[in-house]
Amino acid sequence: MSETQVPRRGRGRRPATEVRSGVLAAAGRLLIEEGIQAVTFERIAKEAGASKTTLYKWWASPGALAAEAYFLESEPELEFPDTGDLHADLVAQITSFIGLLTRGGAGRPIAELIGAAQTDPDLADAWSRTYALPRRELARARLRAAQRHDELPPDADLDIVIDQLWGACYHRLLVLKVPLGDLDVERLVTSAIRGAGG
């Protein structure tokens, strides 16, 4: 666990946006590589060459920073494809998500982050506001498009479809603690779409 200190430049030299993205990148890297325990303001400030005061100013807690970092980190891998085929797109999305959690190594840190959110209200708020609810909104948008193309009925309960798809993954990851790789994504998606009347 060698700590490579980034050369510290004079305060105020770098634009705030650059400092901010450097901090988020450092936090995301620490979270994935070393887990939630490593995500402290002290450590992130050191890694990103930023001041702790700045971090305290921008984030309510290290957990809140970690949640935002994870959202940014996972965004490119968790894009919602829209090829016009709902089943194929959902299989692709859930497969990417499970891939990120398993092969991508995000399973442990993400479980730790959600775990810590259960006793840390600031983190819970940040997690829900900067990650979970925005991702649900992206999923809703994809499902609404499917309604417009008659792949789902107009009165389908989209939030239940979302709960059934991602809830199944989180159920295995967080509650049952069984390998996610055993989940048959094709059947999961078929079942959720058919269940919604699609």
Binding site for its own copies (CB under 8 A): 36-37, 111-112, 114-119, 124-125, 127-128, 132-133, 136, 157, 160-164, 166-172, 174-178, 183-184, 187-188, 190-197
d(CA 69, CA 179): 25
| Cβ distance to its own copies smaller for residue 54 or 128 | 128
Q: Contact, 113 vs 67, CB < 8 A?
A: yes
CB atoms within 10 A of CB 144: 14
CA angle centred on 142, ends 140 and 147, rounded to 5°: 90
Q: Judged by CB, which is closer to its own copies: 69, or 114?
A: 114
User: 37 vs 53, which CB is nearer to its own copies?
Assistant: 37
Nearer to its own copies, 23 or 196 (CB): 196
In this structure, what token pair is assigned to residue 65?
């920073």
Q: How far is the CB of 40 from its own copies (least distance, A)?
A: 15
Q: How far is the CB of 121 from its own copies (least distance, A)?
A: 10
Residues 6+ away with beta carbon under 8 Å from 109: 31, 32, 35, 36, 70
Q: What is the DSSP letter of 173?
A: I
* Nearest approach, Cβ of residue 88 and its own copies (Å): 18
